[in-house]
Amino acid sequence: MDFRIPEDTQEIIGALKQFVEKVVIPLEEANRDVLYNSRNYYLEDGRRSPKVEELRKTVRMESARAGFYTMFGDKELGGEQLGPVTSLLVAEALNKLYPNRKLIEHVIIPSPFTNGLTPVLTGLQPALKEKYLPGIASGEKTLCFGLTEPDAGSDVWGIKTRAVKDGDTWVINGAKQWISHAAHSDYCMLFAVTNPELVAQRKGGISCFFVETGWEGFNVDSVIPTMGSLGGDATILSFDNLRVPHEHVIGEVDNGFTKAIHGINNGRLGMSGKCIGSAQWALKKAVEYANIRQTFGKKIGEHQMIQVMLADCAMDIYAARNMALHCAWKIENSEKTPAKEISMVKAYCTEMMGRVYDKAIQIHGGVGISNELELEEGFRLARTLRIPDGTSEIHRRTVAKSLLKGDLNFS
């Protein structure tokens, strides 16, 4: 492996920094009262306010015009299809420089599998690609990923939403939960059982449908407020005789689960890059504070206990970063998806971020738990990231299963 950041990736990161400084930061500063005041950011029902949505859309479309919004999308869909290593390094850079920013996370660059030119959309019929992709690629329209249900989270085979064929349409009934951004999305990639017998055998039977959220029978029941917020991105959906044309099936009938897994793996690596970058930002804050804060007649950085915490953070970040880079390199240089490594990286990086933020807050003492430094917000985010895209426990199960099957390769 060559651990030097490729020149073209450095250029992308440099251009992104210029974009953030010239376009995003001025917008954020001019709208701080809306973006950084939860009472204004959310409506009473927990949804983001129309003003926030307007600002997010502005940044998405500006990012698309600058070429950032689609750079990780499949070439088949009109994207640049830049590789996992670049994706990881870009996510790291953005979160190292601009963590906890309201108009950066999943706005400048969409989630790798739940929005934008997600690889799931390669299964769309040509006519539908022509109809829908321009709006998605421009940032004007957005997507959500309708997979998780109240009784089917880690065990995807437990989904109960059912699609029944009726002539040239499918009739869908059921419910979804924890669906990110669905309250604000124009389209949904909706997963439903089309063959219960195959699902019972865990051999297929789940199909993916491209649905317009404005269609009759598609209902956003509520938004779920999450940790420390007056609202949230996660939503509860229900489907009441939602009729979907057969040509809106994404890929093959009964084979939607493969699409879901492919997209989720991309998202796990991106999330890991986010954790690595954000943890570096938190450590930098802790180091700066340790060099100025004084207790008992000397800087706290001279106290051995503070030094131990700083060193532990550095070791954690170094291990996570190199683990993630190696995994991204393996994805780019092998035909087989390194499932074991992806699971190790997602679990380790999300837990590492929590450990680093915890120590950074402890080093800052009382000021660390205030809202002033944004450490508490990062700590809350770190705690939540251990759950979506597979819990830490599920990923450990994946790793253990691979080991027990004889996969003891770490090169």
Which domains does the chain carry? Answer: 7-137 (1.10.540), 143-255 (2.40.110.10), 258-404 (1.20.140.10)
Tens digit of pLDDT for each residue in 183-223? Answer: 999 999 999 999 999 999 999 999 999 999 999 999 999 99
Give the whole-number percent of the chain exceeding pLDDT 70. 99
| Position 234 pLDDT exceeds 90 | yes
Confidence of residue 155 (pLDDT cuts 50, 70, 90): confident
Residue 219 CB burial class (10 angstroms; 0-12, 13-18, ≥19): middle
Of 80-84, 164-168, 259-263, least confident by mean pLDDT is: 259-263
- Between 25-34, 230-239, 263-272, the lowest mean confidence (pLDDT) is in 263-272
Q: What average pLDDT does the segment 315-324 reach?
A: 97
Tell me: the pLDDT tens digits for 378-404? 999 999 999 988 899 999 999 999 999
Q: Which of 98-112, 247-261, 298-312 has the highest mean pLDDT?
A: 298-312
pTM to 2 decimal places: 0.93
The sign of the CA dihedral 63, 68, 74, 78 is: positive
Q: So what's the pLDDT on residue 1?
A: 75
Which of 357, 271, 361 is closest to 317 using CA atoms? 357
Radius of gyration of the chain (CA): 22
Of the candidates 164, 165, 120, the one whose C-alpha atom is nearest the C-alpha of residue 146 is 120
pLDDT tens digit sequence for 249-273: 999 999 987 766 666 777 888 899 9
Residue count of the chain: 411
pLDDT in tens, 343-381: 999 999 999 999 999 999 999 999 999 988 899 999 999
Mean of all residue pLDDT scores within the chain: 94
Query: Which of 150-164, 174-188, 303-317 shows the lowest mean pLDDT across its residues?
Result: 150-164
Q: What is the pLDDT of residue 358?
A: 98
Q: Which range (19-23, 79-83, 154-158, 202-206) has the least confidence?
A: 154-158
Q: What is the pLDDT of residues 114-149, one digit of tens each?
A: 899 999 999 999 999 999 999 999 999 999 999 999
State residue 263's pLDDT score: 63
**pLDDT of amino acid 394:** 95
Residue 291 confidence (pLDDT) above 80: yes
**Average of pLDDT values for 97-113?**
90
Lowest mean pLDDT among 2-16, 19-33, 176-190, 250-264: 250-264
How many other C-beta atoms lie within 10 A of the C-beta of residue 73? Answer: 24
- Measure the CA–CA gap between 367 and 380, rounded to whole angstroms: 16
